[in-house]
Structure 1
Amino acid sequence: MTMALQARLTITGRVQGVGYRDWVVATGRRLGLTGWVRNRGDGSVEALIVGEETAVGVMIDACRHGPPLARVDAIDIDPVDLDILPEGFTQRPTT
């Protein structure tokens, strides 16, 4: 059994008010990933992505561009090691 790769992304740029979270959910589901995405009070978007290594890599690359109206300036990627993995791919409230 393959271990799931887990990463927390913080995406900065013009990523709020442009459909970025909906796009992340749709893209994550299409890639068979689980996790969540939410807006942050500082204007960034935070996402937790969990899945097979190749799919996580594809998702990170996709997040560097985002949906058409977004402008991604930077992505900070932090590996995480969760004991309880999320089910499905969802949006969470802004923090």
Structure 2
Amino acid sequence: MRKNYDVIAYGDIKPLLCEDKRVFAYGRNYKGQKLIVICNFYPTTYEIELPYDLLNYKCILNNYKNEAKAKKIALKPYETLVYCNL
């Protein structure tokens, strides 16, 4: 994936949702590419609200078949989502 998305290797890192202790999330930026990583490390579903909408992003990695495309996301147990703008 790093060969297809330079933002993974070279992007700056910005923590997201820092006040939420149940979610590990961060964004990366590099030459116009943006990457968003969201992780739920708990065995229960957990709803979050992102500070922006994911409509202009493509899900490039997900450990479940469904992908969220809204500001509010119900993360499934142990779900990880990775989005990139294209």
**TM-score band, normalised by shorter chain:** 0.3 to 0.5
More strand by percentage: 2
> Is the helix fraction higher in 1 or 2?
1
Q: Kindly indicate whether structure 1 or structure 2 has the higher relative contact order, using CA contacts under 8 Å at least 6 residues apart.
A: 1
TM-score of the pair, normalised by structure 1: 0.31
